[in-house]
Copies of this chain bind each other. A is one copy, B any other.
């Protein structure tokens, strides 16, 4: 199953068998049950996760107890509490599994070590990180400027099969709308 990671890397840069073995030696595989947490708000969160199979979400519970969904991640996606991962601070999001999930994870220290050992991983992670910037800039624009309908359409484009995999309540929570508003959007 780790070949999913190899293919994912080789979409950007080609690597030899030896290089992939080196890369893989920095990762740990973890099998998670549905509902299991990878990251918990208020705890340290030193790992970045790559989803081999399954589906996870990152979310934040605000002071009034409302849950806001920041991101979903399925096969071939990376997910972490970016600030906690990079700065060693406490997590401000929960990351939990919405399905039985297999991940590979790497610590911040090992990611840096891997990049210094294998320069093409510096390149790979720069490209992934830049793509992350694009996605996040779009998300900010959507949150600031878009109507609920535009946000819904954008979600469907970004995660085409998400709608079959998660509850309507979670989709409403990602979009920042009520279940009733979501029903109106999807019946249109």
Interface set of A (CB-CB < 8 Å, partner B):
60, 62, 66, 68, 70, 82-83, 86-87, 92-93, 115, 119, 122-123, 125-126, 129-134, 136-141, 143-146, 176
Contact = CB atoms under 8 A, between A and B. Distances in A.
Query: Interface centre among A82, A123, A126, A140, by most B CB within 10 Å?
Result: A126
Contacts of A115: 123, 126
Instruction: State the main secondary structure of chain A at its contact with B.
Output: helix
A47 to B, nearest CB: 15
A82 to B, nearest CB: 5
B68 A145 contact: yes
A133 B70 contact: no
Contact of A137 (B82, B144, B145): B82
Contact of A145 (B60, B132, B138, B141): B60
Please name the 3 residue pairs, one residue from A and one from B, whose CB atoms are nearest each other, closest first.
A136-B136, A126-B126, A129-B129
Given A86-B130, A126-B125, A130-B82, A70 B144 contact: yes
